[in-house]
Every structure is written in structure tokens, then in C-alpha cells.
Structure 1
Amino acid sequence: MRVVIEKMGINGEGIGYINRKPVFVEGVLIKEEADIEITANNKTYAVGKVKKIVKTSEHRVKPKCKIQGRCGACPLMITDYEDQCAVKEANLKQALIKYAHVNPRLIKKIIPSENVFNYRNQLKLPFSMNEERELVTGMYQPNSNYFNEIDHCVIHDQDLEQTRKAVLKVLNDYRCRSYDYHQKKGFRSLIIRMIDGRSQITLVTGEEELPASMIEAIMQIKGVVSLWQSVNTIKKTPEIFGPKLVLLAGERTLDIRMDDLKLQLSPRSFFQLNTLQAKRLYSTAKGLLKEHYGLIVEAYSGVGGISLYLKDKADEIIGIESIKDAVVNANANAKLNHADNVSFICEDAADKLTYLSKKREIDLLVVDPPRSGLDDAMLETILRSKIREIVYISCNPATLGKNLDILLDRYEVKVVQPVDMFPNTAHVESIVLLCRK
């Protein structure tokens, strides 16, 4: 069966139509023609698998990764970077128009990434054993139990990749094995964060004590400043970290600088994965704010990066975060940056925002929620409040569009600025400025 690809989906798949029914096909681009096999046929859509590409897009390029298309992380690596940005802009516009009827003229050109490869400052990868019975890291093929060993990841920072390989060598020298769910022993995941050549390593394991000599060997790897162990024996969990996290050697935090801002990150701390683009994201958000505010509140404030970056834009800034470790980090970062007007509290965001909006006049709310977007409680709280302006930082066009559809009952969109934080992937970050009607 032959199909012509007419547009790209939000997950980087091509979309064609057969008898007016959309068919989702991975590994194809707009204007390409492909012979496909239908693998799923539902009432409203179908899924196809490419057998042969008959007509190729002028934008198609050979991917630099050996397992592109199998690991699922970088579906857009098959097209040139200019086209990647065009796809992301189109998907963002489509979502915001479809769900919230946003005027497309308000959506600006995407801010491209300076680095298309070697930009990612952190990895979180599961362990497995290869055919030679060596411990390896990789990724599971989407919707399957098939494990793809990663020989070299081209979107990882080069120092990050070298450190990953060096850690694996040490673990294999000590004949370490991947996690056994029955024995609750072994190595489950590897987490490394790399900032300016300095790395923070976390080994997620079962219930076992790591040899002192192995710890020392890992600490001898170039650039390593700390080694942590997280014990996770929960059988079925989406969480990579276990409840127990122990510093085995080195420094408790990893430092990062953004302009005049200095942040300290612990292993569980959330921070943007593209350091250079994070600076552009923060500076762009700050550039949208044309006045000095009395009170800014940030929900989902994490380690405080955005609040502290905006410290000179308000008399007072309050960050709200539900994860205790992040709040401890954030308040330490406020002290580190002499930000006496910035404080962070550990509470549910919607509950605390409700309380604050009744007691204080909030001039600006900053939200940077997870991919699931703002929940119903937060949306209701915002609508009931009299907050003048909102900066909404989103990593998911679909949930952003759905949230805006609700918020536009009381607010209007002033500008939407997409930022490409993750080249070669289908993800796009967006900054939206809203003002109360």
C-alpha cells in the first residue's frame, strides 16, 4: 500500500491519508512517498510500517547514529536541521490553533540551537548484559522489551560520552552485572550529569555495598567530582531513583554558571538538558518582561533557576515546589547568589498559590510544568486569582494548547516564542506571555 506523507506528527512520525483516514508512519518525511504495511487499523486512524521509500525528500540526510529509528529518541535526525525547526514550528502552530485558536501571527520563529549534536548535559540509561556478558548501557525500543546497546550517542556532550565509557570499563573490570529482579542485586541504571567538564555520577543498584577500590577507580576518571549510589528495588516503577540516595565520594553538589547566576545541583535536581539553550530560554523569558514587578510567584520552581535569574525584576519572588530536596537546593542557591528578595517553600503549588492570591497581589506568575501540563486544580486557581501576567514555559505543544484554551477565558496571549532545546528529537520548548483581560 502506497501513501504520500502530508505532515509530521507531534512525536516525529509522518502522517499520510488513505481513504481520508490518517496513517501514522515512523521514519518518513513530508512529501515523501512510501510503500507501507498496515500494522494497526483502528476506527479513526491506522499505523503503518515502511517497506520502501519510493520518493525521497530533498531534506533527508543520513543519520549519524547507528541505532536511530530503534531507540526512539531522535526521530528527526533523518532530516536537515532547517527542516527540523520547520517541523517543530508547524507542530506548535497546529496544536495552539487546534486547541486554543491562538492567532498564528503571535507565534514567533523558533530560536535554533547553537549545537545540533553533543549538546545534552545529562544521561539516564538502563544497564543490561550483551552477548559477551559485558555490562552495557542503552535504551529499550519503544513499546517493546528489546534493548539497544548504545555504542556512542551523538547528542551527548563529548565529555559525557567519554565518562560513560570510562565508568562502564571500571564496572566491567569488577565483573559487575545488570539488575536481577529476583535477587534484588546488580546495576539498574547509570546517571551522569556533565557541566563544563565536571561530572556527577549516580549508580542505581540493588541492595549491595560497592567495593571501596571500585569507588576510588571511578573517582579517578577525568572530571568526576562525585559518586552517588541510589538503591531502587521496586519492581515496577517509572522512577529511576530509589528512595535511598547516598554520597559515596566527592562533593555534594555540581556547580553551573549562567551569566552572573551560580546554581548548585544535586543528583535529583531538575535542570535543562541543553546548557547553552537554557541560557537563551531564561534570557528570552526575562526579555518579555518590560517592567519591574512587586511580587513574582513561580510554581514548580525546582532548584530555583528561573526565579533567581529574574531576581532583579521584582521586589520579591516566591518559588513553590513540592519536592523537598529541590527546595533545599533552591534556598541554598538563593543564599549563594545573595538573592535576599527570593525565597522557596515546599508545598503543593495550587494550594499555596490559592493562599497567596488571597493575601497578596501577585503581579506575575511563572509556570514551567511537566509534559502533562497544568492540572485542573492549578488552572482553577489561576482563573480565580487576579494575577496580572503569566509566563508559561511549556515542553509539550498539545498540553500547552489545551491549557491555553482554558486560560483564555480570563487571559489573552501576547506572544509565543518557541525554543529548540533538543535538536534531532521531536520536542519543542515554548515561552508564552499572557496578560489578564
Structure 2
Amino acid sequence: MSKTQTKPKIPKNPENIHRVNFEKLVFGGKALGRFETGACVFAPKVLPQEEAEVYISKKKRDYAEAMPLRILKKSPERVEPLCSHFEKCGGCSFQNLPYEKQLYWKEEFLRESLERIGKFSVSTIKRFLKPIIPARNTFRYRNKTEFSFTRGEEDRKIQVGFHQLGRKFDLVEPNFCLLQSEIADKALGALREILQKSKLTIFSSSPQNRKASWKGFLKNITFRTNYQEKILIIISTSDEKFPEKELEIWKSTFQKHLQGNFVGIIQLREKQKKKNPTKTKVKILYGQAVIPEKIADLLFEVGPQGFLQVNREMATVIIEKLRQIAAGFEKKPKVLDLFCGNGFLGLAVAKEVSSVTGIELNSNAIEEGRRNLILNSIKNYTFYEGDAAKTLKDLIQDNKFDLAVIDPPRAGLGEKACEVLLQTKTKKIIYISCNPSTLARDLKYLAENSYQIISSQALDMFPQTYHLESITVLEKIAKKI
């Protein structure tokens, strides 16, 4: 691997440097320690039972955020990370921790959220919380990876990589990433060759002007791979045409390195208004606009803006779980697929159930989902476009559901969607979540309003990171006669 060109900044003010003993890991990938005053301090890349010298990067009234300078006392559980960039890279959180300990802490993140935010008692949690499901592969599991661009401060050449920990304007420049597939590593090598001579500008990334004026061309690049080791390359840029001469170099270089695995280059032209893109145009620069994917026995076509679980093997576990639950009904259930995206969860059970009704706000996802219905010969799935709570409220006037499958964004359901979901009076709810905090909040609301938790279980969808997925099953409490 290439070496990172920048070094951590050491603060000149000695008052910002502290020795801290760390107690535990928390969701977010940081270790929690305490000052002598009792105030909390959070630092990444440090483990429980370690003493570290840290500098304070952000200070609030009752807690502080810090960056480690050196480990003074190492945990006996600390292991050597496989990636030489681990200490500086903002990607992985736990490569310095044995895998069985990663699983322990992820299960603890879920348990602690249920107790602290959900207000469930220890005995109640013990009743329904099941052991975490380990990943089938702890490396090389991602089918999608995004890299950022910047320019070197010394040679001014374009750099590509991941954001450095605590330094969002600087990049770590790996030659490969152990979480992505090997074909994506080859694509990264090809990209480095391209960038050596590229004349393209970088969007809003000048090291001399950190408050950039939102100008430039290249924003980021995404590699999306599939079960056949094919790769689709997606380049996000400002709203300008990709220069023809540059494009020929990009195409020929990727073809040389990737050969038959290379299916296309897509440009996402983003019209910018201040910090946020307001409109995106999809332009096919070469090849095809979608990449085929297979998870379990299901086929998908994933576009440049499409969402699909990044871990194919663990997504298969989710499918298996959903089918087991759907098969437990006496009669084939009518299924509600809320926040359905391209229909992944509903597709998983469609052939085992009476009907599936999907609700999704994103029109691109619905368009992709309808193509997936055709691919899988599914005719009992209906998509509705609109806000989850509002659309569901309209639908339940004339529709009843036996099973609700929900997979909301990180923000969770929220009270409004929970209220409408309760009105469906569905017999069972399967709640898929990637955020233990918002999950616990929503489960508290549902449990206080006629539902009981049958089981909750974490899945390690994202090994080496602090992220986790979970499946929670709720059942409506029957009224006493």
C-alpha cells in the first residue's frame, strides 16, 4: 500500500492533551473514557482497558471528542490490523479487535440502546434478544465502494481515496481495500493510472481554500460489483459534459485493467446549489446503465442511484429469515412493504404470500423495482409512490395487512409513521434497522401501543466497522375478552 502523505496535526496548546482511561466501545465506533471530573470523552481507534494520550478536538458542556496521539497502555485484546492505513482511515473502526469481540460489542450496542433509549428492562431484553448472527465473510464482502478526490498539497496531482479520520479535507490513499472485491481493487489501480495524467479539476477541494466556492468537476467515484465479478463505474461530477479526450483515456484504461468484467461508465451530473445537489442527470458514457445482481434466488438490476444491501451473503440471511416468518401464517398473508426502495424485502417473500404492497418516496427506486418484478416473474406486488405515513394512511381505508415489513432510513419510522402503522392493526411487524438508537425509540412507542417484541437480533452486515443490521419481530397483542 502507498503511504498516506499527511501526518496527524498535533495541537500546540498542551491544555488540550490528556491521559485518559477508556472503559467501553459505543455505537459510532469510538471508545468512551472519562476525565477526572466525570465528563465523558470519546476517541476512535482506542479499545476498552486502554490508557491513551489524546488531544481534544471538540469540547461540549458535558462531553468531549478527542483524537488519539499514542496508546500508553494496550488492551490484551488488541490485534494488528491487516490494513496499514487503519489508524488514519475513516472507513474501518475495529480491525484492531478480534472478530469475536467485534460481535460482542455490536450485540452490546443493540442491547444498550434497547435499555437506555427503549426503556426496556434487563429481564425483558433478556427474553427477546437473540445472539448476533456472524458474517459469512469478514473481508471482501462489499459490492459497492465510494472514493473521494482531492489534490496533493505538494505535487498538485489528483489523489483518490477515503477521508482521513478527523481530517475531512485530506485523504488516505490505499492501493486496495480489504472490504471490497478484488475486481474493485483492479479498478482502483486503473483509476490511479488515469489520474496521473488527468487534467480534470476537482470539485470544492482546494487545500489552500478549505471554504471552497463550490467549483470544479470531479466529486467522487463509486465501484459497484456483482455476483459475477462484473463492475459498473459511477462518476459524480458537477453539471458539465465529460470531456471527450479524457473519456477515451478513462474507457481504454479501465478496459485494459478490467477486460470482460467492465460493464459501463455512468456520469451523475449534479446541479449544485450551495452545499447540496438539487438535480442529478444520469448520462451513460460507456456500456450499460445497470448491473445485474443475484441475492439468494432473486435477480436484480441495480442502477447508478439504486440501493441494494452491500453484503450479498448477509442479505441472503435476511431473505431466509423473512421467508421463515411469512411461512408461519395459517393463510398466505397480505404484506405491507414500507420504505420499500426497489422492493428487495417484498420480493423476498412475494412468492410465499398473497400480495405485497410497497410504499416508497423515491420514483427512481420504484422504476427499478418494477423492472425487478419482471426479472423475477412476480405479479402480486404493487408499488405506490409517496411519503410513507401519508400514503399508508390513504391505503388503509380500503386495505388490510397481515404482515408489515419495514426498512426505514437511519432516522427510523418516527412518531407519525408509527401512529399510522398502528392503525393498520397488522398481526406481525418485521422491523429491519441499521440504527439501534432510532430502532429502540420506535420499538418503545410500538410496545406501549398494543405490540410485543417476539425477538430482536443483530446481524453483522458490516464486519470491521461499527455498523450493524438488526431484525426485530413484533406481534399484535390480542385483546382480552
| TM-score normalised over the length of structure 2 | 0.85
Tell me what 1:11 maps to: 28
CA distance in structure 1 between the aligned counterparts of 2:446 and 2:375, rounded to whole angstroms: 36
Letter in 1 for 2:455: V
Kept in 2, the 8 Å contact 1:170–1:217? The answer is no
Letter in 1 for 2:237: T
Q: Shift of residue 423 of structure 1?
A: 0.8
326, 331, 351: which is aligned to 2:365? 326
Residues 265-295 of structure 1 show CA distances to partners (whole Å, capped at 9, x for unaligned) of 1110001111111111222233233225431
CA distance in structure 2 between the aligned counterparts of 1:40 and 1:257, rounded to whole angstroms: 44
Tell me what 2:249 maps to: 214
Tell me what 2:470 maps to: 430
1:19-168 paired onto structure 2 within 5 Å: 19-102=37-120, 103-105=124-126, 106-130=128-152, 131-142=154-165, 144-151=167-174, 152-168=176-192
Kept in 1, the 8 Å contact 2:236–2:269? The answer is yes
Match of 1:434, SS state, is strand
CA distance in structure 2 between the aligned counterparts of 1:197 and 1:359, rounded to whole angstroms: 45
Call closer, same or farther: CA 1:46–1:188 in 2, change over 3 Å.
Answer: closer
Q: Please, which runs of 5 or more residues in structure 2 have no aligned partner?
A: 1-17, 205-211
Letter in 2 for 1:192: F
Kept in 2, the 8 Å contact 1:13–1:27? The answer is yes
Note if 1:281 corresponds to 2:313: no
Structure 1 residue ranges, 4+ long, deviating more than 6 angstroms after superposition = none
Kept in 2, the 8 Å contact 1:14–1:29? The answer is yes
Tell me what 2:225 maps to: 194
Number of residue equivalences: 436
Q: Shift of residue 344 of structure 1?
A: 1.7
Q: Shift of residue 99 of structure 1?
A: 1.6
Call closer, same or farther: CA 1:83–1:77 in 2, change over 3 Å.
Answer: same
Tell me what 1:418 maps to: 458
Call closer, same or farther: CA 1:360–1:179 in 2, change over 3 Å.
Answer: same
Match of 1:109, SS state, is strand
Residues 195-218 of structure 1 show CA distances to partners (whole Å, capped at 9, x for unaligned) of 121111111223133315235415
Letter in 1 for 2:399: R
Q: Shift of residue 37 of structure 1?
A: 4.3
CA distance in structure 1 between the aligned counterparts of 2:186 and 2:96, rounded to whole angstroms: 25
Tell me what 2:445 maps to: 406
Match of 2:42, SS state, is strand
Letter in 1 for 2:28: N
Residues 374-394 of structure 1 show CA distances to partners (whole Å, capped at 9, x for unaligned) of 133211211233122111000
CA distance in structure 1 between the aligned counterparts of 2:143 and 2:87, rounded to whole angstroms: 22
Kept in 2, the 8 Å contact 1:138–1:147? The answer is no
Q: Shift of residue 83 of structure 1?
A: 0.7
CA distance in structure 2 between the aligned counterparts of 1:171 and 1:54, rounded to whole angstroms: 40
Q: Shift of residue 235 of structure 1?
A: 5.2
Match of 2:396, SS state, is helix
Letter in 2 for 1:187: L
CA distance in structure 1 between the aligned counterparts of 2:171 and 2:158, rounded to whole angstroms: 13
362, 366, 379: which is aligned to 2:418? 379
CA distance in structure 1 between the aligned counterparts of 2:113 and 2:399, rounded to whole angstroms: 34
Greater shift, 423-432 or 182-191, is seen at 182-191
Residues 285-332 of structure 1 show CA distances to partners (whole Å, capped at 9, x for unaligned) of 332332254310111111111111111231100111111111011011
Residues 120-158 of structure 1 show CA distances to partners (whole Å, capped at 9, x for unaligned) of 111122211234333221233355443113223221212
Call closer, same or farther: CA 1:149–1:176 in 2, change over 3 Å.
Answer: farther
CA distance in structure 2 between the aligned counterparts of 1:46 and 1:186, rounded to whole angstroms: 37
Q: Shift of residue 184 of structure 1?
A: 4.3
Match of 1:76, SS state, is coil
Kept in 1, the 8 Å contact 2:355–2:380? The answer is yes
Match of 1:213, SS state, is helix
CA distance in structure 1 between the aligned counterparts of 2:381 and 2:111, rounded to whole angstroms: 35
CA distance in structure 2 between the aligned counterparts of 1:255 and 1:88, rounded to whole angstroms: 32
Greater shift, 320-329 or 18-27, is seen at 18-27
Residues 59-78 of structure 1 show CA distances to partners (whole Å, capped at 9, x for unaligned) of 21122223324332212121
Match of 1:391, SS state, is strand
Call closer, same or farther: CA 1:111–1:236 in 2, change over 3 Å.
Answer: farther
Greater shift, 22-31 or 325-334, is seen at 22-31
Greater shift, 104-113 or 166-175, is seen at 166-175
Q: Shift of residue 237 of structure 1?
A: 3.5
Tell me what 1:390 maps to: 429
Kept in 2, the 8 Å contact 1:215–1:249? The answer is no
Greater shift, 197-206 or 414-423, is seen at 197-206
Residues 214-244 of structure 1 show CA distances to partners (whole Å, capped at 9, x for unaligned) of 35415623311111111124154356x9511
Call closer, same or farther: CA 1:213–1:37 in 2, change over 3 Å.
Answer: closer
Kept in 2, the 8 Å contact 1:127–1:135? The answer is yes
Note if 1:237 corresponds to 2:272: no
Call closer, same or farther: CA 1:404–1:55 in 2, change over 3 Å.
Answer: same
Q: Please, which runs of 5 or more residues in structure 1 have no aligned partner?
A: none
% identical equivalent positions: 28
Kept in 1, the 8 Å contact 2:133–2:459? The answer is yes
Letter in 1 for 2:42: F
Q: Shift of residue 104 of structure 1?
A: 2.4
Greater shift, 275-284 or 410-419, is seen at 275-284
CA distance in structure 1 between the aligned counterparts of 2:170 and 2:69, rounded to whole angstroms: 23
CA distance in structure 1 between the aligned counterparts of 2:111 and 2:157, rounded to whole angstroms: 46
Kept in 1, the 8 Å contact 2:265–2:285? The answer is yes
CA distance in structure 2 between the aligned counterparts of 1:49 and 1:327, rounded to whole angstroms: 43
Q: Shift of residue 176 of structure 1?
A: 3.1
Residues 342-391 of structure 1 show CA distances to partners (whole Å, capped at 9, x for unaligned) of 12222221122112222111111111111111133211211233122111
Kept in 2, the 8 Å contact 1:219–1:225? The answer is no
